Amino acid sequence: MNRHLFLSLFALLLSATGCSDPTPPASAAPSPITRYPYLQMALHDSLTILWRSANANPAEVRFRKQGTEAWVTAAANTRPTSGGQTECEAVLYHLSPAQYYEYQLWQNNAPLLPDTFTFRAPIAPTDTSFHFFAVGDIGEPLETEGTPNLLGKALKQSAHRYDLGILMGDIVYPDGQSKDYDANFFRHFEGYLSTTPVYPVLGNHDWHEPEQHFMREWKLPHNEHYYSFQHGNVHFIGLDSGKGGDMYDYENQIQWLKDDLSHRPAGTDWTIVFLHHNGKSCTYKSDEAGVISLYPIFEAHGVDLVLNGHAHTYERLNPMNGAGEVLQPYLQDSTSTYHDLPGFISITAGSGGKLRGVGSDPKAYHPNPDSCAHPNLVAAAHHTWAYLGLEVDGKRLTGRAYQTETLEVLDEFTLVKTGGERAIDLVQ
């Protein structure tokens, strides 16, 4: 055989068998993965990856910055779950801000899945541009006409658009038990949560022994009932509004909230609170006094947005002050743009997978006339499946409500800061 022809054929064979890449081929054996990887705790220069396996064999994550060749290995810690599976948890450290990384799950010197997943590392504190999404009331079973599958499809169409997501409670119906997480939630977001970290808070339907269920499914900061984290120039605060809207562990949680607000990092331009129950509302839900009691704190500390679920619909309120009064000079106009807002805006986005009047919530949707007695309370309302997409660009924050199935923009608003920082004196 011609020597040059032989060398060409040999090189082609090496390429076809993968010998030009140090990554071994995927094993032909069925994968033991029972829950796809999902991202948590994307904080500073680290990130946590969780997944579930049918066996307890040692496992690891191999990751590298996109465009580089060398893989770094992070060993996974394992623990048994109540469902007879094994939870695997690997923490990745020393990530470069805002850089894209790719990773694989490995076990017994072979990849556990054929997939190579990609994520963006947390941005630097000085980075002031990113996107995130917010939605609540998600994991309603398909059998009772829930639509978490449509939300999963919508988010997958915007893969890598959002740096993170916040989930405003009622993550899994009917009562937040671990046994329902895979069927009613995780399977609908398979692959997407492998690339985008999310931060959930407890809703009333999640309040079924949360230490034995909710907290076994997630890895969150602080005590996991309530916590905060920083992403770029935005300070996020997740609260536990309790089973009935009266705020879990009220005295301790409120003191923690005040302390947290008074110690936000330098360079914070925006403060966003998210929880499950609404305060004032014109939906079919009653006003929750426990949440309303936080309004003076929100105003005094310069909170910008308060995001919640609970009502299975979409509603954006006009700006309010600490007394819950609508700020008349800032009533919605044709542009829905607010400059140097002295109060805060409250938004309900509680139709991520469940809608009033459908399935297990069959009662026809009607606004609550007692709540609607608040003059000029509502800026925008749309009764359909929806989620919020929010864009931060320095001192400009834009929110858009998307219809989950069509991705039609239902509502849009913008907050702009042009002056100095608002007073954030601690409420005594």
DSSP β-bridge partners for residue 131: 391
User: Which region, left, alpha or beta, applies to residue 282 given φ > 0 means left and ψ of -120 to 50 means alpha?
Assistant: alpha
- Measured CA to CA, the distance from residue 62 to residue 75 in angstroms comes to 9
Same domain, 139 and 47: no
| Domain assignment of residue 6, yes or no | no
Q: Which of 70, 86, 120 is the last residue of a domain?
A: 120
194 within 8 A of 117, measured Cβ to Cβ? yes
First to last CA, the chain: 90
| Domain assignment of residue 295, yes or no | yes
Half-sphere exposure of 421 toward its Cβ, with a 13 Å CA cutoff? 15
Q: Please state, in angstroms and as integers, the Cα–Cα distance from residue 240 to each residue in 165, 249, 278, 314, following that order.
A: 17, 9, 12, 21
Q: Which segment of 145-159, 245-259, 275-289, 377-391 scores lowest on mean pLDDT?
A: 145-159
Q: What is the pLDDT of residue 168?
A: 98
- Measured CA to CA, the distance from residue 390 to residue 274 in angstroms comes to 14
Q: Which of 89, 120, 151 is the last residue of a domain?
A: 120
Digit-coded pLDDT (tens) for 111-164: 999 999 999 999 998 999 999 999 999 999 999 999 999 999 999 987 678 999
Flag whether pLDDT at 365 surpasses 70: yes
Flag whether pLDDT at 1 surpasses 50: no
- Measured CA to CA, the distance from residue 39 to residue 46 in angstroms comes to 11
What is the strand order of the sheet 46-53 is part of?
A: 33-43, 46-53, 86-92, 77-80
- Measured CA to CA, the distance from residue 365 to residue 349 in angstroms comes to 15
Helices (H), 162-281: 181-184, 214-217, 250-261
Domain range enclosing 86: 33-120
Domain CATH code at residue 236: 3.60.21.10
- Measured CA to CA, the distance from residue 53 to residue 345 in angstroms comes to 42
Same domain, 142 and 274: yes
Q: What is the pLDDT of residue 335?
A: 61
- Measured CA to CA, the distance from residue 60 to residue 36 in angstroms comes to 14
DSSP-based three-state secondary structure for 267 = coil
Structure tokens at 88: 């695997």
Structural domains of the chain, count: 2
Domain CATH code at residue 100: 2.60.40.10
- Measured CA to CA, the distance from residue 25 to residue 211 in angstroms comes to 40
Same domain, 205 and 74: no
Q: What is the pLDDT of residue 390?
A: 97
| Domain assignment of residue 190, yes or no | yes
Q: What is the pLDDT of residue 287?
A: 93
pLDDT more than 90, % of the chain: 81
- Our measurement of the distance from residue 7's CA atom to the centroid of its chain's CA atoms, rounded to an integer in Å, reads 53
Please report, to the nearest 10 degrees, the dihedral formed by the alpha carbons of residues 367, 371, 374, 380 taken in order: -40
Q: Which of 99, 120, 141 is the last residue of a domain?
A: 120
Same domain, 64 and 141: no
Same domain, 203 and 269: yes
DSSP character at residue 41: E
| Domain assignment of residue 28, yes or no | no
Same domain, 53 and 113: yes
| Domain assignment of residue 81, yes or no | yes
Same domain, 116 and 136: no
Q: What is the pLDDT of residue 376?
A: 87
Same domain, 203 and 104: no
Structure tokens at 292: 């309303």
Same domain, 242 and 348: yes
Same domain, 70 and 190: no
Q: What is the pLDDT of residue 369?
A: 65
Same domain, 104 and 134: no
What integer is the mean pLDDT of 294-311? 97
* pLDDT confidence bin for 29, thresholds 50/70/90: low
| Domain assignment of residue 49, yes or no | yes
Parallel, antiparallel, or unpaired for β 305-308 and 345-349? parallel
Q: Please state, in angstroms and as integers, the Cα–Cα distance from residue 338 to each residue in 81, 239, 419, following that order.
A: 48, 26, 13
* pLDDT confidence bin for 83, thresholds 50/70/90: confident
- Measured CA to CA, the distance from residue 105 to residue 27 in angstroms comes to 12
Listed in order, strand segments (DSSP E) in 44-154 are 46-53, 59-65, 72-75, 77-80, 86-92, 100-107, 110-111, 117-120, 129-135
Helices (H), 272-354: 289-292, 295-300
Q: Please state, in angstroms and as integers, the Cα–Cα distance from residue 372 to each residue in 280, 328, 364, following that order.
A: 9, 17, 17
pLDDT more than 70, % of the chain: 89
Q: Which segment of 15-19, 60-64, 329-333, 336-340 scores lowest on mean pLDDT?
A: 15-19
| Domain assignment of residue 425, yes or no | no
* pLDDT confidence bin for 95, thresholds 50/70/90: very high
Same domain, 58 and 200: no
Digit-coded pLDDT (tens) for 188-213: 999 999 999 999 999 999 998 999 99
Flag whether pLDDT at 308 surpasses 90: yes
Average pLDDT, the chain: 89
388's enclosing H/E stretch is strand 386-393
- Measured CA to CA, the distance from residue 323 to residue 313 in angstroms comes to 25
| Domain assignment of residue 428, yes or no | no
Flag whether pLDDT at 82 surpasses 90: no
